[in-house]
Amino acid sequence: MTTLFLFLSFIMASSDMTNQTALQKFIPPSIDCWKASDSSRLYTGEEIFDYMDGAGEIYRSYNFQQLIVQRYACPDQEEILVEIFDMGSARNAFGVYTYMQGRGTRVNIGQDGEYKMGLLCFWKDKYFVCIRIEKENQQASKAVFDLGKVIARAIPTEGKRPDILKHLPVNKYDVKSLRYFYRYEMLNIHFYIADGNILLLNDSTEGVLVRLKDDKSYFLLDGYPDKEQTDSAYDSFLTHYMPDSKGEGIVKTENKKWTACVKEKNYILIIFDAPTKEQAMISLDTFKRRLP
């Protein structure tokens, strides 16, 4: 028994070490005058809460696997904090990235790099990366960018963007407002719809939410694996969200704005908070024509 326990302990420790090494290889020992100030820390599963309290829930909802944290110090300078999240798949990394995006300006680092006030975020392959300093200064900001470039280069492959994005006309919506999800709990974090899964979202579906430039309404596009699931989700949404539309799929809601819903092939398209009925229909039609 003792031998078996030691063997299992060895296997588990080796596995942890392997995982740490896998993420560790993306992290350089130094950048400019900044040097790794202590050993990196690896967080797996529920351990993420030890690091970031309740904020870890967003990562968990996108199937978070592991996080490595490395701090860098340079005399008389800001501490640099690097976080690399292994999200298990590119779609999860992209989904988490969309939760964070929209707060800064785009930079050419990793995939969709974004920087604001000392915080650089990007995704690449199955990884989501954050690098931050608390107070910006020229030298520290440059080091953040340099670190970002080194880490992005160390991740060898790019992640595939979700196919559903191809159906969005880029000029119609605020790119920074885009949120990607595939479960209703994720959607509710971005835009609260209902306390139940009325759009019947699951791991085999996917969705994208954007805010339109013209009228500031919200557009939701959900893709389903087949027509049967699409029909069920459409009926469910109409039943629970707009029973007063009497099956027409358009209704003036309590905030004096319009919500409209249509289904097309294996997709459900919904506009929330359009200023007029006509505008809601025009927006839906615009997006519908983009579908394959």
Partner 1 sequence: MTHIITRRDFLRKTGAAALIATAGVPLFANQALEKKSKVILIRHRNIVDKNGKVDQKIFEQMLDEAMVKLFETKTPEAAWKQIIKPTDIVGIKSNMWEYLPTPAEVENTLKSRLRAAGVQEANISIDDQGVLRNPIFLKATALINARPMRAHHWAGVSGCLKNYIMFTPEPSDLHPDSCVDLGSLYKLPIVKGKTRLNVLLMLTPQFNCLGPHHFDKEFVWQYKGLLVGTDPVALDAVGLKIIEAKRRQYFKEDLPIRPAPKHIAAAEQKHGVGVADMNKIELIKLGWKDGVLI
Q: Pattern of binders to partner 1 over 167-186, x per CB under 8 A?
A: ------------------x-
CB 174 within 8 A of CB 137: no
Nearer to partner 1, 19 or 236 (CB): 236
The region of 25-33, 155-163, 222-230, 233-241 touching partner 1 under the rule CB under 8 A is 233-241
**Choice from 241, 258, 267, 287 touching partner 1 (CB under 8 A):** 241
Structure tokens at 73: 């110090």
Q: Which bin fits 112, alpha (ψ -120 to 50), beta or left (φ > 0)?
A: left
Task: By CB under 8 A, name the one of 198, 250, 281, 291 that touches partner 1.
Answer: 198
- What are the structure tokens assigned to 33, written together? 């005058």
Calpha distance 192→185 (Å, rounded): 9
**Among candidate residues 151, 76, 142, 154, the one with its CA nearest the CA of residue 115:** 142
What is the rounded end-to-end Cα distance, in angstroms, of the chain?
60
Query: Do 20 and 68 touch, CB atoms closer than 8 A?
Result: yes
**Using rule CB under 8 A, residue 117 touches partner 1:** yes
Exposure on the CB side of residue 67, measured as CA atoms within 13 A: 22
Tell me if 235 contacts partner 1 by CB under 8 A: no
Question: Using CB under 8 A, which of 25, 103, 106, 289 touches partner 1?
Answer: 103
* Residues in 7-36 that interact with partner 1 by CB under 8 A: none
Cβ-based nearer residue to partner 1, 240 or 288:
240
The count of other CB atoms within 10 Å of the CB of residue 38 is 10
Answer yes or no whether residue 190 interacts with partner 1 by CB under 8 A: yes
Which of 32, 57, 79, 231 touches partner 1 by CB under 8 A? 57
Choosing from 71, 132, 277, 288, the residue that interacts with partner 1 (CB under 8 A) is: 132
Asked whether 291 and 267 are in contact (CB, 8 A), the reply is yes
Cα 266 versus chain centre, distance: 23
Per CB under 8 A, contacts with partner 1 among 242-281 are 242, 253-255, 272
Pick from 36, 150, 175, 189: which binds partner 1 (CB under 8 A)? 189
- Residues near partner 1 (CB under 8 A) are 46, 49, 52-58, 99-100, 103, 116-119, 121, 130, 132, 134, 185, 188-190, 192-198, 216, 236, 240-242, 253-255, 272
